[in-house]
């Protein structure tokens, strides 16, 4: 609660107005509120200059109109998912309980302009509310917090997602229908390191990752669990489709580097259907690891489906 007495004292003693000189004095400070009518959301600017963000200077935007200014291709989206990044922002705003802090990237010709935004939910009555918001900082470059976040959730060698990212994605997973996890271990990888050295081994892992990245699809996500172990999360797949994908991964890895063809490098894969029980991070990895080793015990280049294990 604002102490009006001390605000008045500040004005009389130092000639400073709390609201205009302290709270809203910086150019990047933009305040707004979002209200909802008949299912439509509108964003109303109450102070600040939105044109310096590259937005048209207007008093009011529809929520969807403002969302069109957000850049979906950014470091944060690489971790949280480029295809769902905008929808995730919308979902977080609509599901706000009391207070929310967001980093929002605004489109520019080169790198996005990052906004630090805080939102507060204010009830109007038992069924209606408005959201007060403030842009309290504008970043010309990607904020350090996001860079640290990206380093935590993106593998530094391969640029694939890490174990931590897999846990994050599984924690946020709502719909598990037609979803599978593929636990992959590279057969013969130790021989690459032993014969050609660890640099060659690292380069082979990078080649695998680049192949995954170059063939990225909207319903497939790739992770490096560590060493020569990878994980692939797929959805909108039938059992036949996921088995075909696993076989294609094995074939691609076997043909990836002709300079080591004499080593007969391949991959062993364990496939686990993802449901409300197996989507738990430790359960999924344990089942995947167990199923993958069942494949490995059969010999190089094998696939095992979890429910086929006796």
CATH of the domain at 217: 3.30.70.270
Last residue of a domain, one of 84, 118, 148: 148
Same domain, 196 and 162: yes
Same domain, 123 and 180: no
Same domain, 99 and 231: no
Number of structural domains (the chain) is 2
Same domain, 263 and 140: no
Same domain, 59 and 119: yes
Same domain, 142 and 186: no
Beta pairing, strands 30-37 & 180-187 = unpaired
Same domain, 74 and 184: no
Q: What is the arrangement of strands in the sheet containing 99-106, beginning at the earlier edge strand?
A: 60-62, 40-47, 30-37, 129-139, 113-123, 99-106
Same domain, 140 and 166: no
What Cα–Cα distance (Å) separates residue 202 from each residue in 125, 142, 188, 226?
59, 28, 14, 12
Q: CA quadruple 212, 214, 216, 217: dihedral positive or negative? A: negative
The whole-angstrom separation of Cα 161 and Cα 38 is 40
Q: What is the arrangement of strands in the sheet containing 303-305, beginning at the earlier edge strand?
A: 220-226, 229-234, 180-187, 266-273, 303-305
Q: Give the SS3 label for residue 104.
A: strand
Same domain, 97 and 185: no
Q: Give the SS3 label for residue 42.
A: strand
Last residue of a domain, one of 123, 148, 173: 148
Same domain, 144 and 160: no
Last residue of a domain, one of 95, 114, 148: 148
Q: What is the pLDDT along the chain (310 residues), one digit of tens a residue?
A: 546 666 676 566 656 565 555 554 555 688 899 988 766 788 999 888 888 888 888 899 998 899 999 999 888 887 777 777 888 898 889 888 889 999 999 999 888 999 999 999 988 887 788 999 999 899 999 998 888 887 788 888 998 999 998 998 898 888 899 999 999 999 999 999 999 999 999 999 999 999 998 888 878 999 999 999 999 999 999 999 999 999 999 999 999 999 999 999 999 999 999 999 999 999 999 999 999 999 999 999 999 999 876 5
CATH number for position 26 = 3.30.450.20
Same domain, 292 and 217: yes
The whole-angstrom separation of Cα 249 and Cα 245 is 6
For residue 93, give its domain range: 4-148
The whole-angstrom separation of Cα 148 and Cα 262 is 41
Letter string b/e over residues 223-232, b meaning 16 or more CB atoms within 10 A of that residue's CB: bbbeebbbbb
Helix runs in the chain, H state only: 4-14, 63-67, 75-80, 85-94, 144-153, 163-171, 189-196, 198-214, 239-254, 281-298
């Amino acid at each position: 609660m604002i102490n009006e007495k001390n605000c008045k004292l500040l004005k009389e003693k130092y000639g400073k107005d709390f609201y205009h000189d302290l709270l809203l004095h910086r150019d990047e400070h933009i305040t707004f509120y979002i209200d909802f009518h008949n299912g439509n959301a509108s964003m109303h600017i109450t102070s600040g200059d939105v044109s310096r963000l590259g937005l048209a200077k207007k008093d009011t935007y529809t929520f969807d109109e403002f969302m069109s200014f957000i850049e979906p291709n950014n470091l944060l989206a690489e971790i949280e998912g480029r295809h769902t990044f905008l929808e995730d922002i919308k979902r977080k705003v609509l599901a706000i309980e009391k207070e929310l802090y967001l980093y929002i990237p605004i489109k520019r010709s080169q790198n996005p302009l990052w906004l630090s935004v805080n939102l507060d939910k204010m009830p109007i009555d038992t069924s209606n509310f408005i959201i007060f918001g403030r842009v309290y900082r504008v970043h010309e470059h990607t904020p350090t917090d996001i860079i640290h976040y990206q380093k935590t959730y993106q593998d530094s060698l391969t640029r694939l997602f890490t174990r931590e990212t897999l846990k994050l994605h599984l924690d946020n997973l709502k719909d598990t229908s037609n979803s599978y996890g593929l636990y992959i271990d590279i057969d013969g990888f130790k021989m690459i390191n032993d014969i050609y050295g660890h640099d060659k081994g690292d380069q082979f892992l990078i080649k695998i990752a680049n192949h995954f990245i170059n063939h990225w699809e909207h319903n497939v996500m790739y992770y490096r669990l560590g060493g020569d172990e990878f994980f692939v999360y797929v959805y909108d797949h039938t059992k036949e489709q996921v088995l075909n994908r696993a076989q294609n991964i094995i074939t691609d890895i076997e043909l990836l580097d002709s300079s080591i063809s004499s080593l007969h490098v391949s991959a062993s894969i364990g496939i686990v259907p993802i449901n409300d029980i197996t989507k738990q991070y430790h359960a999924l990895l344990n089942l995947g690891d167990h199923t993958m080793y069942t494949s490995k015990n059969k010999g190089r280049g094998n696939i095992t489906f979890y429910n086929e294990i006796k």
